[in-house]
């Protein structure tokens, strides 16, 4: 999809559909007012009929006099005072599906005053870009399916053009990252295997000059001593891969940001097998890894002046004669031993060796993301991802990035008090901490492998995909990670 910033006289803009904001009580946005004037009050007259009372929903108008646009979509934005970025993007979602129903594939949005800055333009453009994603790989669209948006223009007033252009470029990059993460997430486990993920990473490096990929196979991991990671893949016929992507956008000697994402391409639970209901959703257990892929692509496309390394341990978790058994003890790359009391707590086993491996890159900071615990969904639901870190400053930084990117997190404790739940009589630690605070004890487990650098963990179990009619990967936390990287790299986003 094509995104573009435009200026000039809105009444003369040639577009299949001009989208104008309208507030409650028929109050027009400045742009709508200008167009209304040019059409001799036709918009105000339409609104007086009462269709958009309360300032919600949409109203499509054709053949307005004095207007070049083929149609005008009046978009309810609610109360003028309350109309913020969040309200705008929600309303825009309504407008975009209205466009689909009318089979309109090109549109021009006049951004309301106050929302035409970097943040407003990026949020609106990203929303439009996200609406143009549809999963098609194993289900081609029906002929009567609504067509996807092909071109989306944003009208902003002149003085802010520079910030708007940058916002648009960033939205394009983040949109591409989100789309990639969603596509990888949605692909079924029989297509999206560890080997498939590794191949996609190699392809990405071929497509983006600034990106390079290296894949460690099981022999290389055995050589290193990744006993925890390899114990999980032993129960699967698909060999594990440790995927490393790197992007050198910063100074040669600048320490890298390292992103680690759980790439469990299907989690049946292993010998501690999961119940059958909704087990298909465990194809999404690689969403953390997909988030790393997406964030790498976004950073490369934005050309951020930052050094970035993405690590994705990829494996399946299945029951098998050679699979982990409850009570087994394995030795991690760190040398610490782990008693596997539940083979379904496998994410932390593949992550812990990857987190130890990350040490060799002398990271500035390490962020890991994982669909790690059902307990995190019980604690927080599907709105925020869980954030765990002992570093208050880093917590603030990530929380702020999440707010700005509309991809929020909520911090949960990582107190020493919980660590004892991982005590084992047969190894340095157990891989589960009992029923209480399952998301916290999972994070506590990871924390034992991250002493060498500043670190934060995101549990994205509740946010990485949607259930029900809208079932599908969300692409989270790519927007959050992208914002975090933009801020870390010090790129200017103001005018």
Q: Which of 27, 37, 85, 274 is catalytic?
A: 274
Nearer to Mn ion by Cβ, of 116 and 267: the residue is: 267
Residues 333-372 that bind ligand BES (CB under 6 A): 342, 344-347, 371-372
Count of positions on this chain that bind Mn ion (CB under 5 A): 3
| Of the candidate residues 285, 316, 339, 353, the single one contacting Zn ion (CB under 5 A) | 285
Q: For residue 293, what are the contacts with CB-CB under 8 A and spacing of at least 6? A: 177, 180, 181, 184, 197, 200, 201, 204, 245, 261, 310, 312
The CA distances from residue 236 to 112, 220, 239, 441, in Å, are 54, 18, 7, 26
Q: For residue 39, what are the contacts with CB-CB under 8 A and spacing of at least 6? A: 11, 64, 65, 66, 67
Residue 29 interacts with ligand BES (CB under 6 A)?
no
Nearer to Zn ion by Cβ, of 3 and 264: the residue is: 264
From the list ligand BES, Mn ion, Zn ion, none, partner contacted by residue 156 (C-beta under 5 to 8 A by kind) = none
Q: For residue 250, what are the contacts with CB-CB under 8 A and spacing of at least 6? A: 256, 305, 306, 307, 489
Please identify the residue of the shown chain whose CB is closest to the bound Zn ion.
267
Residue 339 interacts with Mn ion (CB under 5 A)?
no
Helix (H, G, I), strand (E, B) or coil at 267: strand
Nearer to Mn ion by Cβ, of 36 and 267: the residue is: 267
Q: How far is Cα 445 from Cα 228, in angstroms, rounded to an integer?
A: 13
x/- string (CB under 6 A) for ligand BES, residues 239-278?
----------------------------x-----------
Residues 430-489 that bind ligand BES (CB under 6 A): 432, 438, 461
Residues 54-93 that bind ligand BES (CB under 6 A): none
Q: Which stretch binds ligand BES (CB under 6 A): 52-60, 100-108, 194-202, 373-381?
A: 373-381
Q: Which stretch binds Zn ion (CB under 5 A): 307-315, 344-352, 421-429, 483-491?
A: 344-352
Residue 326 interacts with ligand BES (CB under 6 A)?
no
From the list Zn ion, ligand BES, Mn ion, none, partner contacted by residue 438 (C-beta under 5 to 8 A by kind) = ligand BES
The CA distances from residue 253 to 214, 309, 491, in Å, are 21, 14, 19
Distance of closest approach, residue 372 Cβ to Zn ion, in angstroms:
7
Residue 267 interacts with Mn ion (CB under 5 A)?
yes
Q: Which stretch binds Mn ion (CB under 5 A): 262-270, 289-297, 413-421, 447-455?
A: 262-270
x/- string (CB under 5 A) for Zn ion, residues 345-374?
--x---------------------------
Nearer to Mn ion by Cβ, of 130 and 346: the residue is: 346
Nearer to Zn ion by Cβ, of 218 and 285: the residue is: 285
Distance of closest approach, residue 312 Cβ to ligand BES, in angstroms:
15
Q: Is 71 a catalytic residue?
A: no
Residue 368 interacts with Mn ion (CB under 5 A)?
no
Q: Residue 394: name the closest of 416, 378, 409, 374 by CA.
A: 409
Do 445 and 332 touch, CB atoms closer than 8 A? no
| Of the candidate residues 117, 285, 316, 353, the single one contacting ligand BES (CB under 6 A) | 285
CA trace torsion 116, 122, 128, 131 (10° rounding): -150
Do 204 and 298 touch, CB atoms closer than 8 A? no
Do 267 and 279 touch, CB atoms closer than 8 A? no
* CA within 13 Å, CB half, 294: 35
Residue 373 interacts with ligand BES (CB under 6 A)?
yes
Rounded to the nearest 10 degrees, the angle between the axes of helix 287-302 and helix 161-186 is 150
Q: Which stretch binds Mn ion (CB under 5 A): 19-27, 267-275, 374-382, 388-396?
A: 267-275
The CA distances from residue 487 to 122, 163, 476, 483, 492, in Å, are 15, 15, 18, 6, 9
Q: What are phi and psi of 249, to 5 degrees?
A: -100, -15
Do 196 and 145 touch, CB atoms closer than 8 A? no
Nearer to Mn ion by Cβ, of 166 and 348: the residue is: 348
Q: Is 274 a catalytic residue?
A: yes
Task: Check residue 28 and report its DSSP letter.
Answer: B
Torsion sign across C-alpha atoms 138, 90, 468, 378: positive
Distance of closest approach, residue 373 Cβ to Zn ion, in angstroms:
9
Q: What are phi and psi of 235, to 5 degrees?
A: -85, 10
Q: Which stretch binds Zn ion (CB under 5 A): 137-145, 194-202, 284-292, 482-490?
A: 284-292
Q: How far is Cα 107 from Cα 316, in angstroms, rounded to an integer?
A: 43
Q: What are phi and psi of 264, to 5 degrees?
A: -85, 100
Please identify the residue of the shown chain whose CB is closest to the bound Mn ion.
344
Q: How far is Cα 488 from Cα 466, in angstroms, rounded to an integer?
A: 30
Residue 390 interacts with ligand BES (CB under 6 A)?
no
Active site residues: 274, 348
Q: Which residues bind ligand BES (CB under 6 A)?
A: 267, 285, 342, 344-347, 371-375, 432, 438, 461
């Amino acid at each position: 999809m094509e995104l573009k910033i435009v200026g000039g006289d809105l009444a003369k803009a040639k577009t299949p559909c001009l989208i104008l904001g309208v507030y409650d009580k028929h109050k027009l946005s400045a742009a709508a007012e200008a167009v209304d004037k040019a059409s001799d009050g036709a918009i105000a007259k339409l609104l007086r009929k009462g269709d958009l009372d309360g300032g919600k929903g949409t109203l499509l108008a054709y053949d307005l006099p004095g207007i070049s646009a083929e149609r005008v979509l009046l978009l309810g934005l609610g109360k003028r005072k309350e109309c913020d970025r969040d309200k705008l993007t929600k309303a825009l979602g309504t407008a975009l599906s209205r466009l689909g129903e009318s089979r309109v594939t090109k549109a021009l949005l006049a951004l309301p005053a106050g929302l035409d800055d970097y943040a407003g333009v990026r949020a609106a453009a990203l929303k439009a870009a996200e609406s143009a994603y549809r999963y098609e790989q194993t289900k081609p669209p029906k002929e009567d399916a609504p067509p996807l948006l092909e071109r989306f223009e944003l009208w902003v007033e002149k003085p802010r053009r520079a910030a708007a252009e940058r916002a648009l470029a960033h939205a394009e990059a983040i949109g591409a990252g989100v789309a990639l993460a969603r596509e990888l997430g949605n692909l079924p486990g029989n297509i999206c295997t560890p080997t498939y993920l590794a191949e996609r990473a190699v392809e990405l490096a071929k497509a983006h000059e600034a990106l390079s990929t290296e894949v460690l196979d099981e022999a290389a991991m055995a050589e290193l001593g990744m006993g925890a990671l390899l114990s999980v893949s032993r129960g699967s016929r698909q060999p594990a891969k440790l995927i490393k992507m790197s992007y050198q956008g910063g100074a040669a000697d600048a320490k890298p940001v390292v992103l680690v994402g759980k790439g469990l391409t299907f989690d049946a639970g292993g010998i501690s097998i999961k119940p059958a209901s909704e087990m298909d959703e465990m194809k999404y257990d690689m969403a953390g890894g997909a988030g790393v892929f997406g964030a790498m692509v976004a950073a490369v496309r934005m050309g951020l002046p930052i050094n970035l390394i993405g690590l994705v341990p990829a494996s399946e978790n299945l029951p098998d004669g050679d699979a982990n058994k409850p009570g087994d003890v394995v030795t991690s790359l760190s040398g610490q031993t782990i008693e596997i009391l539940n083979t379904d707590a496998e994410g932390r086993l593949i992550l812990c060796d990857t987190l130890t491996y990350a040490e060799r890159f002398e990271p500035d900071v390490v962020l890991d993301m994982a669909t790690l615990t059902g307990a995190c969904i019980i604690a927080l639901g599907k709105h925020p991802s869980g954030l765990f870190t002992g570093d208050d400053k880093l917590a603030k930084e990530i929380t702020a990035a999440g707010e700005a990117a509309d991809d929020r997190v909520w911090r949960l404790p990582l107190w020493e008090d919980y660590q004892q739940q991982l005590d084992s009589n047969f190894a340095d630690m157990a891989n589960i901490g009992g029923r209480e605070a399952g998301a916290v004890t999972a994070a506590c487990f990871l924390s034992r492998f991250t002493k060498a650098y500043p670190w934060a963990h995101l549990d994205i179990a509740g946010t990485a995909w949607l259930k029900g009619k809208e079932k599908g990967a969300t692409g989270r936390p790519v927007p959050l990670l992208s914002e975090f990287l933009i801020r870390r790299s010090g790129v200017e986003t103001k005018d």
